[in-house]
Every structure is written in C-alpha cells, then in structure tokens.
Amino acid sequence: MTAPRPLRVRPGRPLAGVVVPPGDKSITHRAILLGLVARGETIIEHANPGDDCAASLRCAECLGASVRRTADGTIHLVGTGGRLRDPGGPLECGNSGTTLRLLAGLLVAQPFTSTLRGDESLHRRPVGRIIEPLRLMGALLSAEQGDRLPPLVITGAPLHAIEYRVPMASAQVATCVLFAGLAASGVTTVELPGPARDHTQRMLPAFGVPVEAKTLAHGGSRLALTGPASPLGLSLRVPGDFSAAAFFLATAAATPGARVTASGVSLNPTRTGFLDVLERMGARVERREDATAGGESVGEVTVTGPDALEACDIPADWVPRMIDEIPAWCVVAVAARGISRLTGASELRVKESDRLAVLAANLTTLGIAVTETPEGLAIQGGPVGGGRVMTHLDHRIAMTFAVLGTRARGPIEIDDATAIATSYPGFVETLRTLGGVVETGESG
Ligand code: S3P
C-alpha cells in the first residue's frame, strides 16, 4: 500500500485556457490488447499515460508481446499472432476494470490457466456479467463470492460462437464477448440494449477484422464478427480523452466568466452526451470537428460559463452517453438554479467506487442538499462550502472534487488523490495552468 496523497484546492479565479487531454483511455486499452493478439507490430501514438493502460501493457508483456516505449510515450508493440504465452503467475490489473474484462475475452481460448486480479477497488467490481456469456461460448472460468467478484481464474477451452443479448448497455461486456469471438468458429453476435461507446467496432476493422454493426430502434446496437479471425498490427494516433477534459469543461460551465477549450479531443458521439447536457443547462458550447483518426472524430470544444445555469434532469436513456461524466455533471448541477435529477444510473454503483453513494456523501459534507436514490441522485443547486472529501480509490471522484474546489467558498481537501494517476497523471499540473490553486502534500 502506498501512503495516501492528500490534495487541497482553494477557491480562485474562474478557470481559463486550453487543455490538451491525454490520449483516450478506452481507445488505448483496446489498441494494446488487440495489438497483443495481432500479427506484426502495432504502434500507438499519444497512448493514455495512466496506470490503468500501463496495467494492460504490463499484462500484454507478460502474455508474450514485446513492448518498447519511445521518449514521447509512443508504444511499439509486437504481437503474438494470437498464441499468447503462459504468464506463469497472476496478471495484475491494478484498478482497471477495462483491463480485466477485456483481457478475459482474449484468455478464454488460450491453452493455459490464468488468474486476473487487482486492487481492493477492482475486487469489488462485478465479473458475473462477463462470466455468463463466456461460459455460453464454452469457456471455463470461475471467480470469488459465487462467481461474482475478482480474482477471475480462466482455463483455456475451445470456444463456439454465440448470439448474446447483453443485459446492460456495457461496452466492456460487448467487447469482451467480441474479443472471445475472435477465437470462436462462426459468427459471434452481441446485442446491446442502449447506446454505449463504440470504439471496439470502429477499431476492429482497422485491425483487419470486419464487424457488422447495426443500430437498433431503441438506440442499442447489434454487432457481429466471424471467427476465427486474426487481427493485423497497425499504426494509430489516439485522440484526447473527452472524459478527462470533462472535469475542466464542467468547471467552466459552472463558473460565470470561465472559458476552457479542450483541444485534440475525441468527439465520438457515443461519448459526448455531456456536452448536450451542458447546452441544455445554459452553458455556451462550441464544437469544431477537425479530423478523424483511426475511425474516431477529433476536434476542439470550448465551454463558456454563463451568468446563470438551469437545473436539468438526466433520464435513464441519456446515462450511457455520459456514464463517466456523471461525477463532473455534479459540479454543474450544484451551480444550477433548482433541483437536477439523475435516474437510471445504478451502473454507477459498480464503478471504481459506488459513485452514487460517494458523490452524495461528499456533496453533503460540502453543504449541498442531495438525495441519493437506488438509481440516482437529486441535487439542489446552492453554495458549496469547504471541507474534506473521500475518494475511495476512484480517480473520477478525486478529479470532481478538485475542480469543485476552484469555485467553493472554502478549500476542498481530498483525502487521497493517488487514484488520479490511473487515467490522468498530468491533471494537477493542468488545473494549475488553467488558474487553479492546488496544494499537494500532507494536511496540517
Ligand atoms: C469502458 C466502458 C464503460 C466505462 C469505462 C470504460 C470501456 O464501462 O464506464 O470507464 O472502455 O469499454 P461499462 O462498459 O461497464 O459501462
């Protein structure tokens, strides 16, 4: 266990400036893991530099990929052509649910036994949702607490293609099944009940594996690939992570006179639902799409804080397009006139922390009137006081309260900011560049 790293953010002037966020975490994980099973070399520029993607990279090395990183962070990864090496010990996924769930899909057909495990937070996150479809494909795997929680133990077995309806709009589950489908004979089909990030179906064809993707009436999708299929290494540049930029964009929206631009950021529509919400609440949002990279659109977004924001309800069907931005949305909801209600968001209870409970507890500490419901929150806008908040090893909770500290009435102290490094090691520096007053080190 490393010592906790507290962080204190003092109220200051409205944030202003340009953010160039790190490479997208979801896209980086997928590129590393597909690179691992691909033939030939995969070159990943502007890879996410955080601990979560480092965990995927370390696992890829343990499984036989040969990895070299250049000074600018570019990853050069020579893949295994699908024949992974027995790691000879547990695969450490750290705090990363994406590493564990996606890698499981690649391990189920390998001729050895492997164990996927991680930190305390990861061991509280459900794996039953991937065990069920993988078993239907013929996989042999088990987990703790009645096959509900990691560690996950996988013994390779021959797989067959399935047609599977994912019960929740989870891109991780869909990706896990499609990854397993690469080694199964026949057409593996996955149906998602609602919109979810679509990076996998954009990236697989770039690796030479066609995916048939259909959008369904309810906003969900049906994805199919034919196995066995063998991905071929590629070169790609990862766009900036919208979810990382969202903390600064939220703060700009919540502070009259603030103006923040995120540059080189992914504008994939399955990820940018939060911008639509900011506009509805009265913030000025300007988007400029500049280019596409690896099948993903990239551009610039500027958010300007208006004099007043209106409360806005988030219905269940909006949640998937802003699932990782709900913590940042709280920064905006507390600044709005009236009560903002979030519904249909029970998935937030199984993220790096129980985000509904942790957001409610921390907002209450800071003097905000908030009600926690089984599937959501109701937040009454109002003045934010200073105080000490708890992150529970959750990077997005830490970053939410750090940016909130810039517009609170007193300093906000974060008990332990270590988790920020899982996705955004340069976060504090960026916050300072935009005008944030941040103190690191032990509290007095
Ligand atoms: C991710 C999918 C989402 C998201 C997570 C990353 C991915 O999780 O919250 O941060 O890269 O596929 P779910 O698929 O569980 O919704």
Neighbours of 315 (CB within 10 A): 12
- Whether 27 lines ligand 1, by a CB cut-off of 6 Å, is no
pTM more than 0.95:
yes
CA 266 to ligand 1 centroid distance, Å: 16
- Which pLDDT does position 429 carry in this prediction? 98
- Which pLDDT does position 342 carry in this prediction? 98
- Whether 324 lines ligand 1, by a CB cut-off of 6 Å, is yes
- The encoded tokens of residue 60 equal 């890829």
- What would the DSSP string read from start to end of 59-79? HHHHTT-EEEE-TT--EEEE-
- Whether 394 lines ligand 1, by a CB cut-off of 6 Å, is no
Give the side-chain half-sphere CA count within 13 A for 137.
38
- Which pLDDT does position 1 carry in this prediction? 60
Q: Relative to the CA of 174, which ligand 1 atom is closest? A: 14
Which of 26, 34, 326 to probe ligand 1 with, by most ligand atoms within 8 A of CB?
26
Q: Is the pLDDT of residue 316 over 90?
A: yes
- Annotated catalytic sites, by residue? 324
- Whether 268 lines ligand 1, by a CB cut-off of 6 Å, is no
Residue bearing the CA closest to ligand 1, atom 11? 26
- Whether 197 lines ligand 1, by a CB cut-off of 6 Å, is yes
Mean predicted confidence (pLDDT) in 48-62:
98
Cβ neighbourhood burial of 373 (10 Å; 0-12, 13-18, 19+): middle
Mean pLDDT, rounded, of the chain: 96
Contact between residue 378 and residue 349 where contact means Cβ atoms under 8 Å apart: no
Mean predicted confidence (pLDDT) in 8-19:
98
Residue-wise pLDDT tens digits, 113-122: 999 999 999 9
CA 363 to ligand 1 centroid distance, Å: 24
- Whether 171 lines ligand 1, by a CB cut-off of 6 Å, is yes
- Whether 170 lines ligand 1, by a CB cut-off of 6 Å, is yes
**What are the C-alpha distances in Å from 10 to residues 154, 225, 274, 311, 331?**
48, 51, 26, 25, 15
- Whether 48 lines ligand 1, by a CB cut-off of 6 Å, is no
Q: Relative to the CA of 170, which ligand 1 atom is closest? A: 14
CA 166 to ligand 1 centroid distance, Å: 14
Q: Relative to the CA of 26, which ligand 1 atom is closest? A: 11
- The encoded tokens of residue 115 equal 């164990």
Q: At residue 369, what are phi and psi to the nearest 5 degrees?
A: -80, 110
- Whether 243 lines ligand 1, by a CB cut-off of 6 Å, is no
- Whether 198 lines ligand 1, by a CB cut-off of 6 Å, is no
- Between CA 288 and CA 341 the distance in angstroms is 30
Q: Is the pLDDT of residue 355 over 90?
A: yes
193 CB-near residues (< 8 Å, 6+ apart): 165, 166, 167, 168, 169, 218, 220
CA 170 to ligand 1 centroid distance, Å: 6
Q: Relative to the CA of 320, which ligand 1 atom is closest? A: 16
Mean predicted confidence (pLDDT) in 410-421:
97
CA 185 to ligand 1 centroid distance, Å: 27
- Whether 172 lines ligand 1, by a CB cut-off of 6 Å, is yes
- Which pLDDT does position 443 carry in this prediction? 44
Mean predicted confidence (pLDDT) in 362-385:
98
- The band of 2, judged by pLDDT with boundaries at 50, 70 and 90, is confident
CA 382 to ligand 1 centroid distance, Å: 31
Mean predicted confidence (pLDDT) in 7-17:
98
Which of 48, 95, 170, 242 to probe ligand 1 with, by most ligand atoms within 8 A of CB?
170
Mean predicted confidence (pLDDT) in 398-406:
98
Q: Relative to the CA of 169, which ligand 1 atom is closest? A: 16
- Whether 241 lines ligand 1, by a CB cut-off of 6 Å, is no
- Between CA 233 and CA 226 the distance in angstroms is 18
Residue bearing the CA closest to ligand 1, atom 9? 324
Residue bearing the CA closest to ligand 1, atom 16? 170
Residue in 338, 332, 341 with CA at minimum distance from that of residue 407? 332
Which of 175, 323, 348, 356 to probe ligand 1 with, by most ligand atoms within 8 A of CB?
323
- The band of 444, judged by pLDDT with boundaries at 50, 70 and 90, is very low
